[in-house]
Structures are given as C-alpha cells and as structure tokens.
Amino acid sequence: MGSITDLITTLGKNARSAAKTLRGATTKAKNNALINIASQIDQNRKNILKANQQDLEHGKSNGLDNALLDRLMLDDSRLDGIIESLNQIAALPDPIGEITDLKFRPSGIQVGKMRVPLGVMGIIYESRPNVTIDAAALCLKSGNGAILRGGSEAIHSNLALYACVKDGLIGAGLDEYCVQLIDTTSREAVAELVKASDYVDAIIPRGGKGLVEAISDSAKVPVIKHLHGVCHTYIDKDADTQKAINIAFNAKTRRYGVCNATETLLVHASAVGRVLPELIAEYIAKGVELRGCEQTQQLSGKVIAATDEDWDTEYLDAILSIRIVNSMSEAIDHIDQHGSGHTESIITENYTSGRRFLTQVDSSSVMVNASTGFADGFEYGLGAEIGISTDKFHVRGPVGLEGLTSQKFIVLGDGHTRA
C-alpha cells in the first residue's frame, strides 16, 4: 500500500502545481494543446488501434459482455469522433475569467462574479477509452488539473491515447502534468485517489452503478455522481404514429451499451393498437429481447413476462421492458418510482401534454419528440462530456466546460473604505 500511497501523493503534488500554472494559461495556449492532441491522435492511429485490439482480445478471453466490448472498441470512425470533439472544444468560448453580474453598490464598490476552475479533478472510469481524451480535453480547457484512472480492461488503449495528450501539452508549452494517467491497474490506486483531499478537489466516477456507489461510500473528496441510466420513452395518446415508432426504435437500438439508451418503453393504452404491434415486430427483427406487462404479452408470444426487477434495470444490452399505462400520470409515477434521474422522453403532438411532462418529470434531461440517444454532451453543443450527472449539486446533466467550473465573488473599488 505504501508504494501506491506514494504514487498518488506524487501525482497529486504534480497536479496541484500544474493546475496553478494552468489557471493563468492563455486561451490560445490551451486551444493549441487541444489541436496538438487531435493531430497526435490522427498521426498515431495505427498504434492506438493496435493497442485497442490488444485490450479487445484480452476482454473477450476474460468474458467481457457485449455491452462492455462495444464501449471498449475503437475504430477509425470513433477516432474521427474523438478528433472532432477535440476541435469542437477548442472552438468553444473559454469560460475561465468570465465576469458576470457586475453591479454598483450604494457604497460605490462594484460587486460581481468571476468564473474559475474547480482545481484538480480525479476522473475514474471504466471501459471507454475515449473518456481519456474527453476528460483531458475538458479539464484542460476549463483550467483544471486532471488525474485519470481508466479501467484495467482498457489499459493499453488509454496509455496509447495518453501519450498523445502528453505530447500535445508539451508541444503547446504547457506543463505535462496538467493531465496525468495512473498507469497501474491496482484497485488500491482508486482507494487512495478518492481519499486524497489535500490534492484533489472533486472526483467524477464514470462507470456502472456499483463503481459509482463504491466510490461515493469511500470518498473523502466531493463526488459528482453519474449513477445509471434507466431511461424511459413514453408514447402519449396524442403521439404521431410514425414519429413514435421511429423515435422509440432509435432510442433503444442505436447503441445498446450506452447510458442514454431507453430501457423501458411506456405506451398509453389508447395508442397501443397503432404503434406497439409494429414496434414489437421491428424490435424482434433487430434481435431485441422484449419483457412486458400482461397486456403487452397479449400482443406477441415472443414477449416474456417482466418482473419487478426489470423496471429498475439498466440493461446496457438488447433487452427492453414495455409497460402499457392508462394515463400520463401513471407514466410519470412509473418514472418517479423506477427512473434513475437520467433522461426521459415523451412522444406527443399535444402541446399541453408536452409542457406538463417537461415540468413534472424530475430528470437531468427531459425531451419532447426526440430520442433519448441525444442526451450527450457532444449533441448538446458542449464539445464533449466528462459524464452525465444525476446529482442536483453542483451540476446536473452532461458535464461540459461550465460544469467543471465555479464562481468567486470579485469586488472592484477605487480607494473605497467601509464606514
């Protein structure tokens, strides 16, 4: 344990020192680093994909399920997406130093707020190697030092990507310790990182519910939690038939192993006849296992009975639960009871129903006539995300640049003294 403690202490000291210099870095320097990282990834595609293939082969031999393998996999298309994300973040306005709410007080002083970095972020994540770049880029642009700890299943991919980050920082004249990757797969490193309150200002865990809960229970550092994505799509009685079918199908089948995939489909009883038979046929043709309430089972012999546990489950797989409800109130009650506060969508042509759903559903993203698959920092114009917070403090929903900042009060005077 001593050597791991020493490692985290060294990383923490380096991060704290680097974060201090990063607070004063120019927007140009930070953007240059992001562009450099993108260029390094493009130039090193072969090495990155080779490392990723090594992780995939190891994952298959160790019985990783299809959802985790999908999250782990990199190809040229996904690398293109990572590069595009870096370029988008570079193009975003720099939030650091922004002054707002500046007002004169009766005393003559001006009082306002300035946006500032949080400090040093510890990012703990599983499976997805793209998080190495998303986290590095967002922390860098928002002026935060970052200590990254990816999952053991992606260690080779993460190391290959981190090499690009390090070269990009050095090329832009920034401290190479602005972003550091823990290169040991020991779980002791996580246990030490979440207790390193002298060096780390916040922890963001990105992974399964078990990981997030374990970190939240043991951390001595504030945790920005992304629990799990039990997302719902509700087809209202006033839904357009084709919109409902297209959206509900996309929300489940676009990708299975992502937190914004719909896991439970709720359908108003009066819309069942015109949407569910066709949807059930499309899901079955796609290979989706369907688990439904008694009424849903009557529509197809291929729908198996849903259990109480199903309504609370994030499948991250080709499995969907379906429940028929008699009112929007029943749908909202179901979401309140079984949802995880991530993302919910209503399909309706009724303006009043749409507004009611937006108002009464208490989740980090609530949508009208759109696939839950849009709940993503890239799609929201954040450039990327470091996770989707289901917390309510201090940030909620996709965590982009602004979510990694805070504000401090500033006072401008000209020789003012208080009577």
Residue 357 lies in a domain: yes
Query: Which residues have CB under 8 Å from 214's CB, separation 6+?
Result: none
**Residue at 392 is within a domain:** no
Say which residue the tokens 């720099």 belong to: 94
Based on the domain organization, do 252 and 182 belong to the same domain? no
* Residue 348 belongs to domain with CATH number: 3.40.309.10
Contacts of 344 (CB under 8 A, 6+ apart): 231, 232, 233, 234, 335, 357, 361, 363, 365, 366, 367, 372
Q: How many domains does the chain have?
A: 2
Same domain, 60 and 201: yes
Look at residue 384 and tell me if it is in a domain: no
pLDDT category at 139 given cuts 50, 70, 90 is very high
- Per residue in 75-85, pLDDT (tens digit) is 999 999 999 99
178 shares a domain with 34: yes
pLDDT, averaged across the chain:
95
Q: Tell me if residue 189 falls in helix, strand or coil.
A: helix
Confidence of residue 413 (pLDDT cuts 50, 70, 90): very high
Residues 257 and 166 in one domain: no
**Containing domain of residue 356, as a range?**
231-374
pLDDT category at 408 given cuts 50, 70, 90 is very high
